[in-house]
Amino acid sequence: MIDQNEFPSDADPFDIAPVRLTVDLGALAENWRDMARRSGSARTAAVVKADAYGLGLEDCGETLYEAGARDFFVAVVQEGVTLRAYAPEARIFVLSGIWPGQERMFFENDLVPVIASEEQLAFWMSVLVEFGDYPCALQVDTGFNRLGLPMQDALALAEDVSRPASFSPVLVLSHLHSGDTPSAASSKAQLESFRQVSAAFEGIESSLSASAGIFLGPEYHFDLTRPGIALYGGEAVNGMKPLRPVATAEARIVQIREAAVGSTVSYGATHQLERASRLAIASVGYADGYLRSLSGSGIPLRTGGTGGGFGFIGGYRVPVIGRITMDLTIFDVTDVPDGAVRSGDYIELFGPNMPVDEVARAAGTIGYEMLTSLGLRHERRYLEAE
């Protein structure tokens, strides 16, 4: 029988993890300060929905609060409940609004619902009748055709003298659908529409711009900006260099194997080697959010001519070869010098040497999806902000 005492138990889980994620909270805080500077006279919120874009709501929320953020946006009420413990004096807006049965969660955690439809508005009015005054925000659709009251309905609501006095929104907001494309004429059209809304709700703060809109200039900033992806090191505007990288994902190399010319690699034998090759088998797959569409071959849905993803190890970019599987990915490390890569080493999947948006484009998607798809198996290390 094996004596368990013979094995050390003090190993750092991060150092032995199959897949791991480093989150630089200092870079996150500095990215928020950068976006606050770019927002000029407008206050700057922080969008932390989807577990802070996959990087951890608790740690990221607390870091952003300590950096100075006092307005936060989450997608659903449960996120707001979690965040409240880490942002005690902040205003926390819930973008999906409020539904019957959620009243206690909102009131006990001092969360602000974003009213985004006629149905929600009617329900909210009934809540106010029963519970009295309570703040809300009002979302108006200026051309997205997603959430928000139709613009004409919002203008009529602003002018409705019979509107209950207890209905007192603290913010009106809308969202640009093409803010990441600076040349899009639609952003100017949405801006003009939102100016009408803002004027109709005189005396109430207004917010139009998420990350991309902040870069469009001061006229888009209004009273409050709402940066999201830019905080986490992703591209906010197409073709523009992102801010500081925040997340680095790595996978351990389980095995390095020699493969003969003419042999095939991975499921479906979709890649045939044209040279004798050295292959590194890494312990990451689509179960960890390393998307199958990054495969080096055998992916009929991917278009645009891309050959698949790359990793970074030993100072070299190395291609994914063959299909990515649930738990394993194969990289071609033939061109990496002998001794520069060994079993047990970690390969960078995305991070400072492999920008997350570059990896995402190889997968036919966007950095948002790469970050929010991170699986549960990543062992996490947070580098504290000063």
Q: What is the DSSP letter of 269?
A: G
Asked if residues 168 and 133 have their Cβ atoms less than 8 Å apart, the reply is: yes
| Residue 128 near residue 166, CB atoms below 8 Å | yes
146 is in an annotated binding site: yes
Distance CA 258, CA 72 (A): 51
Note if 49 is an active site residue: yes
Are β-strands 264-265 and 271-272 bridged in parallel, bridged antiparallel, or unpaired?
Answer: antiparallel
Query: 35 a known binding residue?
Result: no
Strands 379-383 and 224-225: unpaired
Catalytically annotated residue among 49, 86, 286, 368: 49
Residue 327 carries which side chain, given as an amino acid letter?
D
Rounded CA Rg of the chain: 24
| Residues 232, 198 contacting (CB under 8 angstroms) | no
Helical segments of the chain, H only: 13-16, 25-38, 49-53, 57-67, 77-84, 103-108, 118-131, 151-159, 185-200, 211-214, 356-362, 367-372
Per annotation, catalytic residue among 134, 267, 368, 382: 267
308 close to 322: Cβ distance less than 8 angstroms: no
Active-site residues, by number, are 49, 267
Residue set of the binding site for substrate: 146, 326
Binding site residues, as ranges? 146, 326
